[in-house]
Chains A and B, each alone.
Chain A
Amino acid sequence: MTQSVRTIALFAMVALLILGTGFLQSWNTALLILNMGLVSAVMALGVNLQWGIAGLFNVGVMGFVALGGLAVVLTSMPPVGAAWAAGGVRVLLALSAGAGLVVAAVYLWKRLRKGWAVAALLLGGFFVYRAILDPAVEAIEAVDPALAGYLGGLGLPVVLAWPVGGLLAAGAAWVIGKTALGLRSDYLAIATLGIAEIVIAVLKNEDWLARGVKNVIGLPRPVPYEVDLQNDPSFVERASGLGLDPTTASTLTVKLGYSLLFAAVLIVLLVLAQLALNSPWGRMMRAIRDNEVSARAMGKDVTARHLQVFVLGSAICGIAGAMMTTLDGQLTPGTYQPLRYTFLIWVMVIVGGSGNNLGAVLGGFLIWFLWVQVEPMGQGLMTLITAGMADGSALKDHLLNSAQHLRLLTMGVILLLVLRFSPRGLLPER
């Protein structure tokens, strides 16, 4: 089977799986899977750019995804005027003081090369920074803590938040890349793992920024609300023309709206990624990945190219994170878990085929489908196993409750099987 036939066949299979869900379960579930599948595919594209094409081992995907989510809040929520009045300027002042401090420390180190001087500057500066920041934070968080207690956003259309999410993630990636990209591959892995935890810690604790674990709910949407559609007589008429009741029709319309938006983003990014992969730039990146030393000998600036691709890949993850938070309609920092947002994306890329953009997209859809559908399958399996047991026995309850965790097990088994028997993934790089 040639590569292109294989590609078409596998994508057709995934389409069939999602359509099958629609026919057998419900179209709402099918569209839910499709939407998150689209988001996952974008994330997988980002990781594929870094790992598949450049060979950078980034396990901090969760952090960039969360930064994208933060961008949605910062861009689209209306500003909280009282909070800005209470301490907005002071927070900005503190943040610029903090940034200035870091720049000064780097400059001092380059000029003096004296560790103690830099350490003293940083320690002293840290206290100054906290002295400016703390009162402002206290004042902001005191503003209507039940509903606001944060600065709010800029009140711009929510779709704008997607590129902003990319920019935010790119900025973070630049800082990380500058410090950590010189390191060996598994050091980079640990470093990015740490960064992701820190991003989540910041989101959870800095209530003035995005309400921390109190969550920001009711984010603006790029698509109409179900209730508005149901109250719209022409919509109801069209729905009944299709033989649907207004409630179902409205939920399906909203989800389809998201699907179209996400698909547009995915297609644009995919086309760009394919163009990049087949350009001289892409060939250079793969040459660097395959043999860094000889690429360096050919005069390629390996460090700069690595930084470039790291920033680009992270930006794509940021865009996907912003899309996901828009889809959820809320930012809940407590729900970001590395297994789900970092390692699952890795499973997608490896299973799909690292180094092949279409493979990554395929992996995104397929693994997301399995992630969702393994749970009911596990439930079924457990019901089968426990069928002979007495009702109400502790073991039976325990087994039924633990069915949801079978999906982790399944993902591990899938990853290991693919790595063993098809190490280049379902759609290998040519």
Chain B
Amino acid sequence: MDLLNAIVALANFVLIPAVAYGSQLALGALGVTLIYGILRFSNFAHGDTMAFGTMVVVLVTWWLQSLGISLGPLPTALLAIPFGIAATAVLVLATDRAVYRFYRKQKAKPVILVIVSIGVMFIYNGLTRVILGPDDQRFADGERFIISAREFKAMTGLSEGLAIRTTQGITVVTAIIVVALLFWFLNRTRTGKSMRAYSDNEDLALLSGINPEKVERVTWLIVAALITVAGVLYGLDKSYKPFTYFQLLLPIFAAAIVGGLGNPLGAILGGFVIAFSEVGITYAWKKVLGYALPDSLAPDSLVQLLSTDYKFAVSFVILVIVLLFKPTGLMKGKAV
């Protein structure tokens, strides 16, 4: 019984939150990795693109809510996602046209593009703050829980409850659908295959008649979709604040690099590695250990390795360890 309680507590406080967070990071990291693989630079504006897309979704959600439209138990924001993706797609395509393309034509060094993306980051950041402001926004509605802790206790008779929030369920389901679609696209369609070819060997791909402009456009479209979905899921699960999204840049990059930059499967793996270590290291293990260990060994302290404010330190340390010992990431990435 105690062991069961330990497992439930572990699931409730570590596994479920980490799976949800990992899915969000994985979607974000997929975007970073696609841009790196095909457009060949690290996009520092990624976090702010995410904030922008989510902002549009927040605004459309409010509008839908004011019209009385809802999805019943599901959050209305899901209905607003297509609007967010469309707006983000327009934004990134316009940016690509007005800013990045010039440097691609010049064959500028990747680091110049990184600096350019810092300028873009400032603009997106300002845009989001001017339109919606820098404050916390809540836009989740619908049922809060799939299973609440109390229902679970009544159902099983355990003293520990297992709560699964609707947003966590939606996160995982959406992430699976999006990733499945992405991989289907990359592996089965003509455009997807040409994207992979372009990423593998630009010259050879050009030689075989692949249109680089189309590949780049499609990449930005996919990135816009991925990043908006990731942002909305994170916002539903936690809360929406532009600055937090900017800070997500670090764990997202860590996930992409740990997995191997340019490798989509690696990005997903990296997302979960980062999420599980962040949650695991900043969680106070007292409760789980109290159930799992015999009474004489039960800990008195919180058994929390680091306070939650140090979660960036965790992604960072993992990043450095992986880079030092396996510089191309856990799954072989590419180096430009």
Contact = CB atoms under 8 A, between A and B. Distances in A.
A111 interface: no
Interface string B307-326: 10110110110011001110
Given A194-B312, A411-B122, A187 B323 contact: yes
B102 A420 contact: yes
B253 interface: yes
Given A408-B122, A412-B119, A416-B119, A194 B315 contact: yes
Contacts of B120: 412, 416
Contacts of A398: 133
Interface residues of A, number: 46
A211 to B, nearest CB: 15
Contacts of B90: none
A406 interface: yes
Please report whether the interface of chain B is mostly helix, strand, loop or mixed according to DSSP: helix
B111 interface: yes
A230 B324 CA distance: 59
Contacts of B114: 57, 185-186, 189
A198 B315 CA distance: 10
Given A186-B110, A415-B118, A339 B42 contact: no
B309 A204 contact: yes
Given A343-B121, A405-B126, A409-B127, A186 B312 contact: no
A401 interface: yes
A415 B122 contact: yes
Contacts of A346: 115, 118
B274 to A, nearest CB: 12
A197 B313 CA distance: 8
Nearest to A416: B119
A58 to B, nearest CB: 12
Interface string A332-347: 0000011100010011
A186 B307 CA distance: 29
Nearest to A195: B316
B125 A339 contact: yes
A193 B254 CA distance: 11
Contacts of B246: 338-339
Nearest to A198: B313
Nearest to A413: B123
B271 to A, nearest CB: 15
20 contacts: A115-B325, A134-B301, A179-B320, A185-B110, A186-B114, A190-B254, A191-B319, A193-B249, A194-B312, A194-B316, A195-B316, A201-B313, A205-B307, A343-B118, A347-B122, A401-B133, A402-B130, A405-B133, A410-B126, A412-B121
Closest 4 CB pairs between A and B? A412-B122, A409-B126, A408-B126, A194-B316
Interface of A: 57, 115, 126, 134, 179-180, 183-187, 189-191, 193-195, 197-198, 201, 204-205, 337-339, 343, 346-347, 350, 398, 401-402, 405-413, 415-416, 419-420, 423
Given A186-B41, A406-B130, A408-B129, 8 more contacts: A190-B254, A194-B315, A197-B312, A201-B313, A398-B133, A409-B130, A412-B122, A416-B120
